[in-house]
């Protein structure tokens, strides 16, 4: 069931808990665009792992109110507010794709509460020293992030138009993505259950507006509001070698700067390769 959690500034966030209600709490932060309906292990798997999985719509997505001008760092305060509402003192965080930088924010800014952080197929900060940020990136993402850096107004217009098409036909985004997917990602998305989940995820994310998508893209291209090098909790960084949406060198850059982090790069895997490794990642997060 969806629960609306009010955060201190009065916004409402749409939150769900899945799996074992007495299990180890783990926040799963969804991708971009995305929602609480995004990729996650089934309930039976969560029970076997002893995991209580907490998922929520980031501001502007699905059932959550928008936070205009938000930074990546702002995710930490939202996660803390949800944890308070659920009476959770300590918890792990897992972020995939667009959720990955936000999980790093929680690790950096909530060190007394976050036990472990798993970061799957992440971007690095825009302007990261020594990193060719766009190298190896799919053209659709190059256009999106280039526009975000140049003109918030043009980005909003572009993503509102794309979102309208997706609201009219939620399969559109999956179809658009297929043209840029490496073969390993095509094999993952070929599964009918995964395709259906992705369609539901995108439809919920964008059912009201493109605000969440717009604000994510802008946040990734601004100062994140924290230094990844300040993180001291255990961090697992996973990336597929063939990823074209957030290229692997982004995670290698993070691994070089986060003290004591563990880096796993899987040959032959790409962006959606993060889905089948999720149960193992959750086992690590609660270990």
Cα–Cα dist 228/184, whole Å = 30
- Which residues, 6+ apart, have CB-to-CB distance to 196 below 8 Å? none
Cα–Cα dist 259/270, whole Å = 25
Distance set, CA 11 to CA 5, 37, 58, 154, 234 (Å): 8, 20, 11, 26, 31
User: Residue 23's closest CA among 1, 2, 44?
Assistant: 44
pLDDT at 175: 86
Report residue 114: phi and psi, to 5°.
-85, 125
Cα–Cα dist 248/266, whole Å = 10
pLDDT digits (tens, 9 = 90+) for 167-191: 999 899 888 888 899 999 999 999 9
Average model confidence (pLDDT) across the chain? 96
pLDDT band at 5 (very low <50, low <70, confident <90, very high): very high
pLDDT band at 58 (very low <50, low <70, confident <90, very high): very high
Please determine, for residue 130, whether its predicted confidence score (pLDDT) is greater than 90.
yes
Q: At what angle do helices 152-168 and 211-221 cross, to 10 degrees?
A: 140
pLDDT at 136: 97
Please determine, for residue 274, whether its predicted confidence score (pLDDT) is greater than 90.
yes
Evaluate if pTM is beyond 0.85.
yes
Q: What is the mean pLDDT of residues 221-246?
A: 98
Report residue 96: phi and psi, to 5°.
-120, 135
Please determine, for residue 253, whether its predicted confidence score (pLDDT) is greater than 90.
yes
The total number of residues shown for the chain amounts to 287
Share of the chain above pLDDT 90, in %: 95
Q: What is the mean pLDDT of residues 126-153?
A: 95
pLDDT at 173: 86
- Cis peptide before 144, with omega less than 30 degrees from 0? no
Cα–Cα dist 116/135, whole Å = 30
Q: What is the mean pLDDT of residues 56-84?
A: 98
pLDDT band at 109 (very low <50, low <70, confident <90, very high): very high
Superfamily for the 3-285 domain: Alpha/Beta hydrolase fold, catalytic domain (3.40.50.1820)
Q: What is the mean pLDDT of residues 24-31?
A: 98
Q: What is the mean pLDDT of residues 235-239?
A: 98
pLDDT at 55: 98
């Amino acid at each position: 069931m969806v629960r609306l959690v009010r955060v201190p500034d009065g916004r409402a966030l749409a939150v769900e808990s899945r799996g074992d209600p007495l299990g180890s709490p783990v926040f799963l932060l969804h991708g971009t665009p995305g929602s609480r309906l995004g990729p996650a292990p089934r309930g039976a798997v969560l029970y076997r792992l002893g995991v209580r999985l907490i998922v929520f719509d980031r501001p502007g997505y699905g059932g959550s109110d928008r936070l205009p001008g938000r930074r990546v760092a702002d995710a930490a305060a939202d996660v803390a507010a949800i944890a308070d509402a659920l009476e959770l003192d300590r918890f792990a965080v897992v972020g995939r794709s667009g959720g990955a930088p936000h999980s790093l924010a929680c690790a950096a800014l909530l060190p007394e509460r976050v036990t472990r952080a798993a970061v799957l197929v992440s971007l690095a900060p825009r302007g990261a020293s020594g990193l060719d940020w766009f190298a190896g990136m799919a053209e659709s993402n190059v256009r999106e992030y280039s526009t975000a850096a140049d003109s918030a107004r043009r980005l909003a217009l572009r993503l509102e138009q794309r979102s309208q098409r997706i609201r009219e036909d939620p399969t559109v985004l999956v179809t658009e993505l297929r043209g840029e997917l490496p073969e390993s990602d095509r094999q993952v998305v070929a599964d009918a259950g995964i395709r259906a989940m992705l369609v539901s995820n995108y439809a919920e994310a964008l059912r009201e507006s493109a605000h969440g998508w717009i604000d994510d893209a802008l946040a990734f291209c601004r100062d994140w509001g924290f230094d990844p090098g300040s993180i001291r909790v255990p961090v697992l960084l996973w990336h597929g070698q063939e990823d074209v949406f957030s290229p692997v060198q982004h995670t290698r850059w993070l691994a070089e700067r986060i003290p004591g982090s563990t880096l796993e790069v899987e040959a032959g895997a790409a962006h959606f390769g993060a889905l089948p490794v999720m149960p193992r990642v959750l086992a690590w997060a609660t270990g």
